[in-house]
Amino acid sequence: MLPQSNSESATPAMSPTIGVFDSGFGGLTVLRALIHRLPQARFAFLGDTARLPYGSKSRRTIARFAAQSAQFLVREQGAQFLVIACNTASALALDAIQDAVPVPVLGVIEPGAAAARAASKTGDVLVIATDATVHSHAYAAACQALGLRALEMACPLLVPLVEEGWTNHPVTAQVIRIYLDQLLAEAAAQGLNPDTLVLGCTHYPLLRPLLEQAVPAGMRVIDSAEAAARSAASQFAINLPPTPADPAQETELHCFATDSVEKFERLGSRFLDRPVGHVELVDLGG
């Protein structure tokens, strides 16, 4: 579906496309970081909002949903590279997605663990994430593979607080303090000396200012969204023209959702930090 220009005409070819996928719209924080790094690329974002949350579903079901979404981005939107901007899908379905499409696929967990490895001096890191991601222990495994000890904790109230728009609210600050106190006490009980906190959910970057105020002095806060965007940008840059984009020209972005387009348009801008524009409804079946 992606028009190709083979001539050296004056009109530029359509820019190479990165597909970004999430079960909802939290993954727009990954997209935001990607656009910042690759403004000259074209982006297609799909939120599988009709079937969210993935967190309560089985691995087989998540894999099927995620593969369908990936195929839409590659076949219908011409994506030459996919970023799975969803921790649950990255944790449970990365292999299935890689099998389903003939383009490179990057999840958020490995880049997040790699960034933690680069940041941590003590080798002990904390990971906050949703219930589903914590239960998968995907971060613990990815960290362990890099020689880190990771303590994971689910923070189920943080996503609803972000979706309510309370990203700079005293209630949210209090909830963060309660969760972090529990996590730090558990780390101390296990004899860990953590110096790094990994944000293992694509909603959490919106809470970064409150989280940075709440962590102990000197603790680094690692954003998996930012780490994944950095990794994707370095892998994808080879596809882009060497000349920088016209700074006056806005990055080309197409957003799709399987349901709840209205909520997507309303909340999406907050995650993306710019208007998401018109969100197109697509039917993937299921």
Q: Does 214 bind its own copies (CB under 8 A)?
A: no
Among 15, 40, 49, 69, binds its own copies (CB under 8 A): 49
Q: How far is CA 158 from the centre of its chain?
A: 16
Q: Does 216 bind its own copies (CB under 8 A)?
A: no
* Known active-site residue 201: yes
Decide whether 106 or 161 has the Cβ nearer to its own copies. Answer: 161
Q: Does 76 bind its own copies (CB under 8 A)?
A: no
Decide whether 179 or 236 has the Cβ nearer to its own copies. Answer: 179
Q: Does 56 bind its own copies (CB under 8 A)?
A: yes
CB of 284 to its own copies, least distance (A): 13
- What ranges in the chain are assigned the alpha helix state H? 28-37, 59-71, 87-100, 109-119, 131-136, 138-145, 158-163, 170-189, 208-214, 224-236, 261-272
Q: Does 157 bind its own copies (CB under 8 A)?
A: yes
* Known active-site residue 155: no
Pick from 172, 212, 210: nearest CA to 196: 212
Window of 51-59, 95-103, 115-123, 138-146 that interacts with its own copies by CB under 8 A: 51-59
Residue 74 backbone dihedrals phi, psi, to 5 degrees: -80, -50
User: Using CA atoms in the order 232, 233, 237, 238, what is the torsion angle rounded to 10 degrees?
Assistant: -30
In angstroms, how far apart are the furthest CA atoms of the chain? 66
Decide whether 61 or 239 has the Cβ nearer to its own copies. Answer: 61
Among 122, 174, 182, 234, binds its own copies (CB under 8 A): 174
Decide whether 230 or 263 has the Cβ nearer to its own copies. Answer: 263
Window of 53-61, 72-80, 93-101, 137-145 that interacts with its own copies by CB under 8 A: 53-61
Buried b (16+ CB within 10 A) or exposed e, 101-138: bebebbbbbbbbbbbbbebbeebbbbbbbbebbbebeb
Query: Which residue is catalytic, options 86, 143, 155, 255?
Result: 86
Q: Does 178 bind its own copies (CB under 8 A)?
A: yes
β-strand partners of 257? 47, 281
57 CB neighbour count, 10 Å cutoff: 18
Decide whether 51 or 220 has the Cβ nearer to its own copies. Answer: 51
